[in-house]
Amino acid sequence: MLKLLLRRFLFLIVTLFAVSVTVFAISELAPGDMATNVLGNTITPDQRASFNAQNGLDQPALTRYRRWMLGSDREAAQLIGAPVDRFYDTENNQTNWWVVGSNETIYRHRSEDGEVILQLERALLPDGKLGPSRIVALGDEIWVTNDEGEEIFWGVNEDGRAAMWIRGLNQSEERLTRAGWISTAGAPSAYIPLQKGLLRGDPGISLITRQPVIDTLVPRLLNTLFLAGIAFVIIMPLALFLGVIAGLYEGRPLDRVLSVGGLVATATPEFASGVFLIVIFAVWLGWFPGAVVIPPGTSIFEQPQMLILPIMTLMLVELGYVLRVTRASMSEVLRTNYIRTAVLKGLPYWQVIWRHALRNALLAPITVIMLHINWLIGGIVVVETLFGFPGLGSYVLASALNNDVFALQAATMILVVIAVVSQLLADLIYVYLNPRIRYT
């Protein structure tokens, strides 16, 4: 038993590593360069080069993969000579990177001429908030001569990236703001996008929102887990129960009704069944007139009735599929010799069903249920998009449409983790239902 679990766990680790390499490689092999995919083909060569440098896209693929998985904050801290960390600024309502000083202060840097480095300092208050800021000009002692004889300085710029300035090299930087592209003087010559790495829960900064991916991804994931959890708790016991009933009464009218109904529900696409439910319950009956589409920024807990139609849509698809698999498995088990022997020995019929048939009939549905956990978590893109549900499925779709590669990579890895963990749980359930697996 312990060896089985250890092998499965090692297989999980190897699978996640292989998938991470595959996901990163697919993003690398996407047609066109990432700057053009994100910003469009109207950008100038200078804007493309500046965008790639600021986001670390001009680095070798191996370096970017290492930073994506393990982070870049330790690498930047060694160059800067001080630790770096993320802090939430209540005034700007955003999280960003700062250099951590030794006197309860944090700071960032900028330069207007490539000669003088201005340091923006903020105090760390006891309540965890950031105090008022002040700007000081750093002296000549901050510059360090490198092997090429250049005077350089490493710090964190105003955008929260580790940056290196070369003294006297007053180059410009193309920055994309809400007002459009602007060119600023005194720009750094090299950048390191700061992140703690996927293994520490920080996959990087979104190319679209310029906010940490984890800050927007986690709320979406929790919403989807809540929706999928409710649907799972309702669908799976009901589908197993109806499937067992259909298998016990195989060939009878009740079996025909359940089988045909499940087939029709499964064969109907989610977008069609969702539209039907909207027309019936929201338009004709008028039961949920304000819960058809969830308004942006609305919490799903503010209006629980918004969950009814999405859950019903999921039920129509999942219920019929699991029902029919359970029915087929139950029918097959009832035809086996050991069930017939138990009946001939005179054991009560329901005792045979409950203690012998049901336990083995659940092996096949368990596989289907565990596979459909992945679908409930990540494959409900159609349902979430149809009802405007702020979940992981719609997040993946929006990231793909907007070419937000870092957000898409992080969401994909979450889906893979859920898939692999659900299969591990399926193996544990197999061992419980079939003791012979423990000895093989």
pLDDT of residue 163: 94
Report residue 250 as tokens. 């195989």
Mean local confidence (pLDDT), 111-120: 90
Mean local confidence (pLDDT), 125-151: 87
Beta-sheet strands, E only, within 101-137: 105-111, 117-124, 130-137
- Which letter does DSSP use for residue 295 in this model? P
137-146, 168-177, 197-206, 375-384: least confident range: 375-384
Owner of token pair 């005034």: 91
Q: Is the pLDDT of residue 243 over 90?
A: no
34, 26 in Cβ contact below 8 A? no
The phi-psi region of residue 128 (left if phi > 0; otherwise alpha if psi is between -120 and 50; otherwise beta) is left
Most confidently predicted of 140-154, 265-279, 367-381? 140-154
The phi-psi region of residue 201 (left if phi > 0; otherwise alpha if psi is between -120 and 50; otherwise beta) is left
Q: Which residue has better confidence, 212 or 306? A: 212
Q: Which residue has better confidence, 169 or 30? A: 169
Q: Is the pLDDT of residue 119 over 90?
A: yes
189, 342 in Cβ contact below 8 A? no
Q: Is the pLDDT of residue 107 over 70?
A: yes
Domain ranges of the chain: 46-199, 214-437
Measured on CA atoms in the order 398, 400, 404, 408, is the torsion positive or negative?
positive
Q: If we measure between CA atoms, which residue out of 255, 221, 225, 236 comes closest to residue 367? A: 236
Find all residues with CB under 8 Å of 18, minimum gap 6, and list them. none
Report residue 72 as tokens. 């870049």
pLDDT confidence tier of residue 75, bands split at 50, 70 and 90: very high
> How many whole angstroms separate alpha carbon 31 and alpha carbon 18?
22
Q: Which residue type, as a one-letter code, is found at position 259?
A: S
Mean local confidence (pLDDT), 145-168: 91
% of the chain residues with pLDDT over 90: 18
114, 165 in Cβ contact below 8 A? yes
Q: Is the pLDDT of residue 233 over 80?
A: yes
pLDDT of residue 157: 92
Q: Is the pLDDT of residue 3 over 80?
A: no
- Which letter does DSSP use for residue 206 in this model? -
> How many whole angstroms separate alpha carbon 248 and alpha carbon 255?
8
Q: Is the pLDDT of residue 35 over 90?
A: no
Q: ∠199-201-207 over CA atoms, to 5°?
A: 110
> How many whole angstroms separate alpha carbon 25 and alpha carbon 407?
15
> How many whole angstroms separate alpha carbon 385 and alpha carbon 407?
18
SS3 labels along 320-357: HHHHHHHHHHHHHHHCCHHHHHHHHCCCCHHHHHHHHH
pLDDT of residue 378: 61
Q: Is the pLDDT of residue 390 over 90?
A: no
Mean local confidence (pLDDT), 239-243: 87
**Helix and strand numbers, DSSP H then E, in the chain:** 16, 11
Count of residues in the chain = 440
Average pLDDT, the chain: 83
Beta bridge partner(s), residue 162: 156, 192
pLDDT confidence tier of residue 154, bands split at 50, 70 and 90: very high
Strands 144-145 and 151-156: antiparallel
pLDDT of residue 299: 61
Q: Is the pLDDT of residue 195 over 90?
A: yes
Q: Is the pLDDT of residue 228 over 80?
A: yes
Mean local confidence (pLDDT), 423-428: 77
Give 3-state DSSP helix, strand, coil % of the chain, rounded to 5.
55, 15, 25
pLDDT of residue 131: 83
Burial class (CB in 10 A: 0-12, 13-18, 19+), 44: exposed
Report residue 34 as tokens. 């990432």
pLDDT of residue 114: 83
Most confidently predicted of 134-143, 307-316, 392-401, 419-428? 134-143
User: Rg (Cα) of the chain, in Å, rounded?
Assistant: 29
- The verdict on domain 214-437 having CATH code 1.10.3720.10 is yes
Most confidently predicted of 56-65, 88-97, 277-286, 328-337? 56-65
> How many whole angstroms separate alpha carbon 164 and alpha carbon 75?
13
Q: Which residue type, as a one-letter code, is found at position 370?
A: M
Mean local confidence (pLDDT), 226-246: 86
Mean local confidence (pLDDT), 251-267: 86
pLDDT of residue 397: 84
pLDDT of residue 155: 94
Q: Which residue type, as a one-letter code, is found at position 403?
A: N
> How many whole angstroms separate alpha carbon 106 and alpha carbon 365?
56
